[in-house]
């Protein structure tokens, strides 16, 4: 790899120090083999301008394009980039997704940590740092992987693989994906006070129903991190609206996207066909990591007489902080006034 020194001056020569570490220090980090769970690793290095010369700071794109994660034993490169589906083995990227939860064993209880992203840092004990996010396909479940780092510099290849001058690697133990079933879904209901002034002839009651996940395989508390559905345009809108026998009271159902506690406006709009002609704000998402449904019971003697309306049962997928998922159906039920005020699910 020697180059003619009469050629243009090299920006940098090589690496004087190189090591790889897990962001969350454990005896051996766990990772779910589901193609989504990402574990953060940090690569620390010192770049030099000349052989044995002064340490310089490299631009992000230079080190990114010349740094590779490799198998510690064989030296083979891991797949670099974003992969989904199939048996891609072990891969990594420089951009995290939303599933960076790290299951960590501690005194026989598994607790969850979420790595905080640090893409590139220029002063970590005198060393530069760049972060990568490792994930693996389902085909790699129940395996142990030792991962090292390699930097291809202009005049030399630097590696921390087995047999090199300085070994440095991280170890990951892959776990079988949790596939949530109907029995893993739990719900709880809470009455919520309505703030604000309502018209004299109107009464409103709110109940939030919280959907959570539990598993016999406990890797910390299951936190719902992402919601997917083909009916995404119904998120935040009424998807069921039922009348009482007298047509003076209606029950409207809402599903909210995953997020922080907030106050949203659902007044001065139509709940499917039911006109709500007054301002109304409600509180949602009071419980972090749980899916929030709201059921509004509203009474107004001036309401028109409308028949029960709902969208057919639709499918939604929820993911925990590790990228494990469950697929469920939301089922309408207008059998009686009691059923109209509840949320019903089915396993898909």
Give the Cα separation of 318 and 325 in Å (integer).
6
Indicate the pLDDT class of residue 165, thresholds 50, 70 and 90: confident
Assign 112 a pLDDT band (cuts: 50, 70, 90): low
Instruction: State percent of the chain over pLDDT 70.
Output: 89
Percent of residues, the chain, with pLDDT higher than 90: 75
Of 176, 198, 224, which residue is a domain's last?
176
Phi-psi category of residue 244: left, alpha or beta, with phi > 0 → left and psi -120 to 50 → alpha:
beta
Are both 193 and 166 inside the same structural domain?
no
Task: Examine the domain organization and report whether 308 and 241 are in the same domain.
Answer: yes
Which domain CATH number covers 41? 2.60.40
Q: Please tell me whether residues 158 and 193 are part of one structural domain.
A: no
pLDDT of residue 104: 64
Domain count across the chain: 2
Output phi, psi for 246, to 5 deg.
-90, -5
Long-range contacts of 52-59 (CB under 8 A, 24+ apart): 52/16, 53/13, 55/16, 55/126, 56/12, 57/122, 57/128, 58/11, 58/12, 58/128
> pLDDT tens digits for 180-238?
999 999 999 999 999 889 999 999 999 999 999 988 765 668 999 999 998 888 999 99
Do 25 and 155 sit in the same domain of this protein? yes
Domain annotation covers residue 139: yes
Clarify whether residues 243 and 295 are in a common domain: yes
**Considering the domain boundaries, does residue 204 fall inside one?**
yes
Q: Which of 114, 146, 176 is the last residue of a domain?
A: 176
> Contact 180/325 with Cβ under 8 angstroms?
yes
Asked if residue 103 has pLDDT above 60, the reply is yes
- Is the pLDDT assigned to residue 322 strictly greater than 90? yes
**Which has more confidence, 324 or 104?**
324
- Asked if residue 307 is part of any domain, the answer here is yes
pLDDT number for residue 1: 43
* pLDDT (0 to 100) of residue 27: 54
Residue 85: the pLDDT is 78
Same domain, 154 and 55: yes
Judgement on whether residues 143 and 210 belong to the same structural domain of the protein: no
Q: How far is CA 81 from CA 101, 124, 192, 211, in A?
A: 20, 26, 45, 34
Is pLDDT above 60 for 105?
A: no
Regarding whether 229 and 136 lie in a shared domain, the answer is: no
Cα 271 to Cα 132, 173, 234, 237, 240: the distances in Å are 46, 49, 11, 7, 8
What local confidence, expressed as pLDDT, does residue 241 receive? 98
- On whether both 167 and 184 belong to a single domain, the answer is no
Query: What is the mean pLDDT of the segment spanning 100-117?
Result: 58
| Domain that residue 210 falls in | 180-347
Residue at a domain's end among 176, 205, 224: 176
Residues 113, 105 contacting (CB under 8 angstroms): no
pLDDT for 331 beyond 70: yes
Longest CA–CA separation in the chain, Å: 93
Domain assignment present for residue 9? The answer is no
Question: Rounded CA gap, 208 and 225, in Å?
Answer: 18
Q: Rounded mean pLDDT of the chain?
A: 89
Q: Buried b vs exposed e over 179-191: b needs ≥16 C-beta within 10 Å?
A: ebeeebbeeeeee
Contact assessment for residue 183 and residue 217, using Cβ atoms and an 8 Å cutoff: no
Q: Which two structure tokens, joined as six digits, stand for 248?
A: 């003076």
Verify that 219 and 286 share a domain, yes or no.
yes
Nearest to 117 by CA among 102, 103, 137: 102
pTM of the model: 0.87
Q: Tokens for 17?
A: 């120090």
Is 20 inside a domain boundary? yes
Average pLDDT, stretch 308-320? 92
- Does residue 199 share a domain with residue 133? no
User: 210 lies in a domain?
Assistant: yes
Please report whether residue 51 resides in a domain: yes
Long-range CB contacts for residues 194-200, cutoff 8 Å, separation at least 24: 194/280, 194/282, 195/281, 196/279, 196/280, 196/281, 198/278, 198/280, 199/278, 199/300
Asked if the model's pLDDT at residue 110 lies above 50, the reply is no
Q: Read off the pLDDT of residues 1-48 as tens digits, 9 standing for 90 and up.
A: 444 443 344 578 889 999 999 998 665 689 999 999 999 999 999 999
pLDDT tens digits, 42-85: 999 999 988 878 899 999 999 999 999 999 999 999 999 988 87
If asked whether residues 147 and 186 sit together in one domain, one would say no
Q: What is the pLDDT of residue 26?
A: 60
pLDDT at 106 over 70: no
User: Predicted confidence band at 164 (pLDDT cuts at 50, 70, 90)?
Assistant: confident
Render pLDDT for 251-267 as a digit per residue (tens, 0 to 9): 999 999 999 999 999 99
Report how far residue 250's alpha carbon sits from residue 2's, in angstroms, rounded to the nearest whole number: 80
Please indicate, yes or no, if residue 5 is contained in any of the structural domains.
no
């Amino acid at each position: 790899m020697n180059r003619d020194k009469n050629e243009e001056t090299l920006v940098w020569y090589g690496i004087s120090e190189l090591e790889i570490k897990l962001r969350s220090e454990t005896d051996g980090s766990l990772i779910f083999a589901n193609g989504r769970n990402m574990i953060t690793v940090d690569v620390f290095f010192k770049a030099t301008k000349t052989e044995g010369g002064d340490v310089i700071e490299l631009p992000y794109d230079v080190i990114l394009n010349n740094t590779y994660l490799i198998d510690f034993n064989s030296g083979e490169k891991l797949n670099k980039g974003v992969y989904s589906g199939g048996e891609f083995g072990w891969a990594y990227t420089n951009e995290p997704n939303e599933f960076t939860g790290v299951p960590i064993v501690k005194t026989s209880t598994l607790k969850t940590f979420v790595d905080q992203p640090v893409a590139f840092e220029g002063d970590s004990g005198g060393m530069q740092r760049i972060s990568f996010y490792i994930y693996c396909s389902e085909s790699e479940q129940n395996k142990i992987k030792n991962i090292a780092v390699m930097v291809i510099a202009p005049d030399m290849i630097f590696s921390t693989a087995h047999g090199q001058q300085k070994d440095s690697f991280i170890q990951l133990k892959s776990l079988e994906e949790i596939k949530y079933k109907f029995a893993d879904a739990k719900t709880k209901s809470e009455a919520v006070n309505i703030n604000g002034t309502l018209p004299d002839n109107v009464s409103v009651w709110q109940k939030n129903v919280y959907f959570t996940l539990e598993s016999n395989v406990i890797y910390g508390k299951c936190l719902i991190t992402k919601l997917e559905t083909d009916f995404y345009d119904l998120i935040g809108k009424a998807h069921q609206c039922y009348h009482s026998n007298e047509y003076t009271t209606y029950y409207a159902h809402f599903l909210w996207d995953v997020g922080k506690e907030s106050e949203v406006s659902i007044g001065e709009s139509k709940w499917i066909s039911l006109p709500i002609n007054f301002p109304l704000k409600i509180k949602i998402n009071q419980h972090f990591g749980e899916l929030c449904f709201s059921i509004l019971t509203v009474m107004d003697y001036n309401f028109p007489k409308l028949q029960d309306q709902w969208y057919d049962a639709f499918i939604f997928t929820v993911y925990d902080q590790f990228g494990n998922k469950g697929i469920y159906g939301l089922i309408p039920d207008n059998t009686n006034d009691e059923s109209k005020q509840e949320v019903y699910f089915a396993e898909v």
